Amino acid sequence: MENADKHIVKERSDRPSSQRKIKKILAAARAEFLKSGYSASSIEAIAARAEVSKVTVYSWFQSKENLFGEMVKAECSRMSEGVVGENLEAKNLRDILILVAENMMGFLMDDERIRFDRILAAEVNRDPRIGEQFLDNGPRALLNNITKLLQIFVDKGEIQSDDLSAAAAMFVSLVVGRIEMMLRYGEKINLTGPEKSERAKRAVDAWMLIHQA
């Protein structure tokens, strides 16, 4: 019976009307978690924001923890989305990495992301599994996508590396530097478009010096 129920839920989730409802619930969850934090947020409040019943929220997500995990996935996909795109054969790796670096910096300095990061850090003390959900769907997913991107260019003979996972981590470190730590502890960092571009180019060029074939 349990497997049959899961099959029905899967079929329902593929419907356009269901997808719209799920997105609406996730948007409401994001707003509520950012406003109140995990502990103070309730399914009732999220349902009210989404203009659906509490039963509807539970029918899709079963628990607040599951809903938070799905919201984290959706939030984190903003950072990793598009790293490995289509038609890469016609694109220059340096240009792709510069774009990725600029997007990463923009994401890091987003006020809502900073607030989300602080809320998340506080919740990890209560439940370490929340941190694992974030790491799996955020930083680890990003590193995995960058590793896949780099593998494409290793196969083309344009770059070389004995450890692509380490190469991806090095790239992220060169881009982020101490920005994330400074933002986490309250420093305001506002880079202009040209400043982001220049920082991105320096990071990418330093990385390419080590890995270019």
* CATH assignment of the domain containing 80: 1.10.357.10
Same domain, 177 and 130: yes
pLDDT at 104: 85
pLDDT at 136: 84
Range of the domain at 190: 73-211
pLDDT at 168: 95
Same domain, 103 and 185: yes
Q: How far apart are CA 4 and CA 104, in angstroms?
A: 42
Residues of the chain with pLDDT under 50: 1-11
Query: Phi and psi (nearest 5°) for 188?
Result: -90, 125
**CATH number for the domain harbouring residue 40:** 1.10.10.60
Q: How many domains does the chain have?
A: 2
In this structure, what DSSP letter does residue 87 have? -
Residue 160 domain flag: yes
pLDDT at 56: 93
pLDDT at 7: 41
Q: Minimal CA–CA distance to 41: which of 61, 16, 21?
A: 61
pLDDT at 6: 45
pLDDT at 182: 84
pLDDT at 75: 76
pLDDT at 112: 79
Same domain, 77 and 150: yes
**Residue 123 CB contacts under 8 Å (≥ 6 apart), including other chains:** 37, 38, 39, 130
- CB-CB contact of 209 with 110 (8 Å): no
Q: pTM for the complete prediction? A: 0.75
pLDDT at 203: 96
pLDDT at 210: 95
